[in-house]
Every structure is written in C-alpha cells, then in structure tokens.
Chains A and B, each alone.
Chain A
Amino acid sequence: MSTEILESQIAEAPAVVQPETYLNFTSGILSWLLTKDHKRIGILYLVSVTVMFFIGGFAISVARLNLMTPEGSLIPADTYNRLFTLHGVIMVFFFLVPVVPAALGNFVLPLMIGAKDLALPRINLLSWYLYIIGACWTLYAMIAGGIDTGWTFYTPYSSQASHYDIVPTMIGVVIAGFSSLFTGLNFVVTVHWMRAPGLTWFRLPIFVWTLYATSIIFLLAVPVLAMALILVVVERVTHIGIFDPALGGDPLLFQHLFWFYSHPAVYIMILPGMGIVSEIIPCFARKKLYGYTFVAYSSMGIAALAFLVWAHHMFVAGISVYAALVFSSLSFLVAVPSAIKVFNWTATLYKGSISFATPMLFALGFVALFTIGGLTGLFLATLGMDIHVHDTYFVIAHFHFIMVGGMVMAYMGGLHYWWPKMTGRMYSQWWSRMSALIIFFGFFLTFLPQFVLGYNGMPRRYHSYPPEFQVWNVLSTAGASILAVGYVLPLGYLLLSLRYGKRAGPNPWRATGLEWQTPSPPPKDNFEETPIVVRDPYQYHLEKAQNEL
C-alpha cells in the first residue's frame, strides 16, 4: 500500500477505515507491559522518563527557591543537601542518560534503518523493566532515607561520614546502568545486522551514527561504574577500607573509576542530541547536511576521546602535575570534533530556505547553548582557570549549558520532530513555538548569572551564601521559574494534540528519512514491505531541483 493512498483514505473516509497501527493492533494493559514492539517500549520509556524529569525538576525548584535569600531560610541545610542530590541522581542517571537513546532512539532507530524491530526485542523489554526497578528503588531510598553526597558519590564521604540510604541508592543506579547497557548492546547489534538493503554505513542518518557511538560508550563505561559502586557497597558493608584513607584505602582510585564512567557519560548526554539536530537542521533548511562524512566520523571521534580525558575532573584532587598536563591537553582535543559539528550545522544553514517550525527553533537553541557550554568547557580544561573556578557555580553553569541547554533542547526538538510520527497527530504550532522561546530565554536567565556567581567565588552545593551574591541568585531563581513554565507547557499541548490534533499524514515535514515513508503512526511491523535504499541521506536539494523543473 503506498502512503498516498493511505492518506487520501483517511481524508475521505475517516470513520470507516481505522488502519491497524502499533497502537491498536492489540489492546489492554498487559499487551503493553509484555510488548516486544520497539515502538511501544519507546513510549513506555517516554512516559517513565517524563515522570522522572518532573520529580527531579520539582526537587531542584525547592532548592533554587531556598537560594533567593542569603540565609537560605526556606529549608534546613540537611534537606537542601538531600534535594540537590535527589535532583542530580535522578536527572543524570534516570533522565539525561536514557531519555534520547531509550525513549526516542528505541522508537525511531529501527524505522530509520528500515528494520522490523530491534535485533533483541526481549532484551529491550528487559531493559525497560530494569529501568523501572532501578528508578522505583532509588526513588524510594532517596525519599524515605535520603542521601546527601551529591550525584558523584565521592568517597570517603560516601563510604563513612554520610548517613542514610547510600547502599540502596547505589544499587538502584547500578540496576539502571544495566538497563542502559542492554539498550546499547541492542543498538550495536541492530545497526550491524538489521539495516535495510542498500543502507550502507555511509548512508546511515547521523542520528543512527550518534546512537551507535553512544552505545559503544554505554558498553565500555557502565561496567566500570558498576564495579566502582559495588566496591563502595562492599566497603560500607564490611568496613574494610577500599577507598577510605583512614582504613588504608585510596579515595583517588574511586574518582578515577567514577570519572572513567562519568566523563564518557557526559557524551552519552550530548551525542544523541547532536544526532537529532543533524536530522532537524537539513530538513528545515531544505539542504543536504554539509560534510556528512565528517559529522559521522566526528561522532566516533568524540566517543573515542571521551575515554581519554576523565582526570580533568581531578585537577585539584591530588593527581601529579604531569598527569594534569596530559589530561588538560587531551581535553582540548575533544573540542575539535565538537567544533566540526557546529561548523557543519552552520554551513548547512547557510543559504538554506529556513522555516522556523518548532523542531527547528529547538535545534537552533541547541546550537547556541551547546556552543557556549562547550567553550566554557575549554576554560575548565585550562589548568589555572580550573583551580580558580573548581566546584563553583561556574562549573554548574558550564554543564547545565551542555546538558540542559544542549541535551534537553535537542530532546525537545526530537520529540516535536517525531511526535507526528509517533502519534499520527500534529500539535499546536503557536503554543509549541511559544514554549521553545520561553525555554530558551528562561534558560539564559537561569544559568548566565551562575557564570558570574562562580567566577566571583560562590561554591556549589551550599545552602546559604554571603549577601553580595544575592542579586545574581534572585535573577537565577526568576529564570528558573520561567523555565519551569516552558517545560510544563508541552505537557498540555502535546496531550491535547492526541485528541484534537490534525492528522499528520506520513510525512508532515517533507523529510527524506526512511521513517517518514511509512504511515503515522506506523503499523506493527513498521513497513508494509522492506524498503530498499538507493540514495544517500538528506537529499533535500534533489527535491528542490525537482520543484524548480
């Protein structure tokens, strides 16, 4: 059945023909909880990470409100510590890491490569259950008991001084880690073996490349984190000093193992975002992606370099100057593949016929904020500068520009880009553009002041501060309130679109990817017939040439 026929059927006889889609081929709660369909599992993830996002966001809103006044009189210091830890753990391990690969990636990756499903559907379902078990367990531990170490679990604080529920929280994080690991395993096998005929490696969409690179990071980094956390648990249970210096252990070893995971993990939190942006920009600029092979290779380059720079988090922790020198220099290298991407996006935009649809607004926001975040990363990689701003709000601002300004923006872009594919409905263009703008300005107002605060010496993780910092803190809190509005809005218009939205049709953006060549929402097996790929991706210029003829 060709897609045009399907479209006209819907337009002319809406009540009669209800095409079978992945949403309605079976029904009932169990058909969802036991599904092996990648699209349904993607939706399950989407719902669960959204819940986690709002829990993590709520925790930090309270903490941010507390910082309106220098004395921090809203909540006790102990509560403050537990709230920012809750925020960090949830946002990093349960939102940023899984959100794009597991929610969006799960849904679109097989569609983008013309496959019926992921290679290992049962393992895919297992990943989701691991995620849910890890999330519930961690949430319970952190709300019932609470921990106050920050999301980095630094020893010896986490191994001796800190009270509450450290062990269960860590176990929850390890379980969620295995969920990501299995997702990564699934993606690698899928990209290797499930591509449609004709879809060679260098015809893969960039989003697929970045998911592939991300998966490799998952596979090599998660086990190291798991082992490090297991050792902390053993230490707490046996009281033998593995990392605790008072008992003969070495706290630096923990930091090495931790950052060997967590530095690459920050690229888990940005690479898929870069992939989304590389889909959106060519589509809404109606141009071929400039320098496709460079963008593809730079994804793998970032993944490789990610493993070589972990100790730039330890410049002031007691590593030797020579080590610091090496890690500082290597960190600068990471800027190269990142910059390649920014240049290529810019070149793609150049002389394009740009339309500012919602996904494009988010993508452009991403490019701006990621660039600022990346450049300030270079500040931090500079030894002298890092000693000045280490563990201050400067660092907070830097990584929020990357993770929130970058990854969350890209995720919103991706969500708005593929929403019509996932649900078959369009959402309100006006409201969604408003939310993109609100998020962008709210973000700036929240995090720009934090660069100033950090540069002037306000340390992170403090619940009160000297009065001279108040102005900037009030600005930041005001920004955070605007940001919150921007994040809640989509919840409204996206849900409304499910009922009142216009039918999207198979390809509302006139995009070239394979995922747009099947009905929206897609049927259970994705394609009526396995597509055969004869062209490179992003051939938007061909369409233009055709129109001109």
Chain B
Amino acid sequence: MSSDDTLLKADERHMLDHSILVRHRLEEQYENLEHQYHAATTAMWVFLATEVMFFGAIFLALAVYHHMYTDAFEKGSEKLEWIIGGTNTIVLLLSSFTIVLAVHYSKLGANKQTAWFLATTAALGLLFLVFKGIEYYLDYKEFLIPGWRFNPQEWVDKEHLSPDQVPHVQLFLVFYWVMTLIHALHVTLGIVAVLIVMTLAFRRHFSPVYYTPVEVLALYWHFVDIVWIFLLPMLYLQGTHTHIGF
C-alpha cells in the first residue's frame, strides 16, 4: 500500500513494526489508515451536527418560554447555584485543555503522556459530576424539584409572584432539570469513552500513523463542553442575582 509509505515518511519512523500496526488497526472496508481517519472524523462531525439540532430544539423551547414568562423564569434562575455552575464551567474548560494535550501526544506516539492526560480529563469530568451532584442535592433541600419537591406558597410569599405565575417557575425548573440531566448523561458517556481510550493508550495503541480514536473522542468532548457554556447563561445567569445564595 503505497500511500501508507508516504504517510510513514511524513513522521519519525520508530521501532514499531508498521506493517503489523497497519494490519491490526485498519478496518477491512478502508484503503489505508488515512482513509479510515477521514471517515471517522467526518462521522463524528456529522454526529455533532445532529447533537446541535437535538440541543437546539430544547434551547429554542427555553427561549420561547423565557420570552413568554420572563419574570417567573428569572426568579427561578436566581435560585440556582450559579457559583457551582460557574466553577463547573472552569472545570470543563480545563478538561478540554487536557484532552487537547492528549491528542497532541498521541500524534507523537507518546502513549504514556496520552494516557495520563486522558486520565486527567476523566478525573475532571468526574469532578464536574460530583459538583453537579452536590448542586442537585442543594436543589433538593431548597425544594427546587418541580412536581415532586416544590413549595408553591413560598414563591408567592417570599418571591412576590402571583399564584398563576408559580406554574411558570416549575416550567423553568423542568427545563433546568431536563437540560442539565441530558448534559450530565453526555458527560458520563464521555468519561466512559475516555477511560476506554486511556486503556488503549496504556497498551501503547497509538502512533504517528494511528491516533484516530483520541482525535474523535476529543471532538465529542469539546462539544459537550460547549453545550455547557451555552447552558450557563441560559439557565444560571438570568435575572439580577442581587441576593447571592449558596
């Protein structure tokens, strides 16, 4: 296979036996590893486009109702733990940085570094989930679970909403729970995938000619981070937040 040879020349050849490597990493329907790489990254980009539509639909719905019930939605938003939300944003941004480093090292064939940066990424993802869990617990204590643990009278008494506005607060909270839960599910799946690829890296799977899984995984991970960056202002940062509650 001639194009593999040119690819090999492009980067340092080291002690790996490339013909074995090519045989093991190449799926039979592809011509060569480069071909396989392009197909895999295209697949992930296209998948992310569908994810944009998926989250887009619920963002649209949130925007529509925010427009209709601005007061109630802002009151609801002020109750959310924006400090945790903000901290989590930083955690995810850091994880995006570490996964980029993992990609970088995988391209050099430095499997050990790749594995450790993936481990860090997974740890940061886990930290995100822990914070999110704490936040959910606080929400539970503050009666912020619509339809199940929610105190309508309190919103009339303390927040000065009219009784017919209270359902709109619940509506806002439905959005908060659905969106953050779906996002958390994405993070969880991401962590599982990172751990799998990390194991591959510890087994010295990657090399300058084969690092596709790391790259594809990183694309997914960045997307999940970006969704959160949109969630933060749409959910947490509405309203004035003059009384900081933690």
- What is A's interface to B at a CB cutoff of 8 Å? 115-121, 181, 185-186, 188-189, 192-194, 219-224, 226-228, 230-231, 234-235, 238-242, 247-250, 253, 257, 260
Task: Report 21 cross-chain contacts, Cβ distance below 8 Å, ordered by A residue.
Answer: A116-B28, A116-B29, A118-B29, A120-B39, A185-B50, A188-B42, A189-B43, A193-B35, A193-B38, A223-B53, A223-B54, A224-B56, A231-B178, A235-B174, A239-B147, A240-B170, A242-B171, A247-B167, A248-B171, A257-B57, A257-B60
9-residue interface stretch from B61-69, B80-88, B105-113, B123-131: B61-69
> Is B148 an interface residue, CB under 8 A from the partner?
yes
Residues of A within 8 A of B27 (CB): 121
A117 to B29, CA, bound (A): 6
A499 to B178, CA, bound (A): 55
Distance of B74 from chain A, by nearest CB (Å):
16
> Is B142 an interface residue, CB under 8 A from the partner?
no
Q: Which among A118, A120, A240, A250 is the interface contact of B64 at CB below 8 angstroms?
A: A250
Distance of B189 from chain A, by nearest CB (Å):
14
> Is B208 an interface residue, CB under 8 A from the partner?
no
Residues of B within 8 A of A120 (CB): 39, 43
A227 to B60, CA, bound (A): 11
Known contacts A120-B43, A253-B64; decide if A227 and B57 are in contact (CB<8 Å): yes
A231 and B43 within 8 A (CB): no
A247 to B58, CA, bound (A): 19
A194 to B29, CA, bound (A): 9
Residues of chain B at interface, number, CB under 8 A: 33
> Is B75 an interface residue, CB under 8 A from the partner?
no
> Is B15 an interface residue, CB under 8 A from the partner?
no
- What is B's interface to A at a CB cutoff of 8 Å? 27-29, 35, 38-39, 42-43, 46-47, 49-51, 53-54, 56-58, 60-61, 64-65, 68-69, 146-148, 167-168, 170-171, 174, 178
Known contacts A119-B43, A223-B57, A257-B57; decide if A240 and B174 are in contact (CB<8 Å): yes
Q: Which residue of A lies closest to B35 (CB)?
A: A193
A194 to B42, CA, bound (A): 12
Q: Interface residues of A: mostly helix, strand, loop or mixed?
A: helix
Q: Beyond the given A238-B174, A240-B167, A241-B167, please list 7 additional residue pairs across the A-B interface where CB-CB is below 8 A.
A: A117-B28, A119-B39, A194-B39, A222-B50, A224-B53, A241-B171, A250-B64
Q: Which among B39, B61, B167, B170 is the interface contact of A193 at CB below 8 angstroms?
A: B39
A189 and B39 within 8 A (CB): yes
Distance of A3 from chain B, by nearest CB (Å):
22
Residues of A within 8 A of B178 (CB): 230-231, 234
A119 to B38, CA, bound (A): 10
B58 and A115 within 8 A (CB): no
Residues of B within 8 A of A219 (CB): 46, 49-50, 53
A228 to B58, CA, bound (A): 8
Q: Which among B28, B65, B69, B148 is the interface contact of A238 at CB below 8 angstroms?
A: B148
Distance of B54 from chain A, by nearest CB (Å):
3
Distance of A167 from chain B, by nearest CB (Å):
15
A120 to B96, CA, bound (A): 27
Residues of B within 8 A of A226 (CB): 54
A260 to B56, CA, bound (A): 12
A365 to B119, CA, bound (A): 61
Known contacts A117-B29, A189-B39, A224-B56; decide if A242 and B49 are in contact (CB<8 Å): no
A37 to B25, CA, bound (A): 19
Q: Which among A188, A223, A228, A247 is the interface contact of B46 at CB below 8 angstroms?
A: A188
Interface centre among A189, A235, A257 (most CB of B within 10 A): A189
Distance of B120 from chain A, by nearest CB (Å):
29
A250 to B42, CA, bound (A): 38
Interface centre among A185, A188, A248 (most CB of B within 10 A): A248
A228 to B56, CA, bound (A): 11
Known contacts A240-B146, A240-B147; decide if A181 and B50 are in contact (CB<8 Å): yes
Residues of A within 8 A of B50 (CB): 181, 185, 219-220, 222-223
Q: Which residue of B lies closest to A118 (CB)?
A: B29
A226 to B68, CA, bound (A): 24
A189 and B46 within 8 A (CB): yes
Q: Which residue of A lies closest to B168 (CB)?
A: A248
Residues of A within 8 A of B167 (CB): 240-241, 247-248
Residues of B within 8 A of A188 (CB): 42, 46
Residues of A within 8 A of B58 (CB): 227, 231
Residues of B within 8 A of A253 (CB): 61, 64
Residues of B within 8 A of A241 (CB): 167, 171
B171 and A249 within 8 A (CB): yes
B170 and A192 within 8 A (CB): no
Residues of B within 8 A of A220 (CB): 49-50, 53
Q: Which residue of A lies closest to B53 (CB)?
A: A223
Distance of B61 from chain A, by nearest CB (Å):
6
Residues of B within 8 A of A185 (CB): 43, 46-47, 50
Distance of A410 from chain B, by nearest CB (Å):
26
A221 to B57, CA, bound (A): 10
Q: Which residue of A lies closest to B38 (CB)?
A: A193
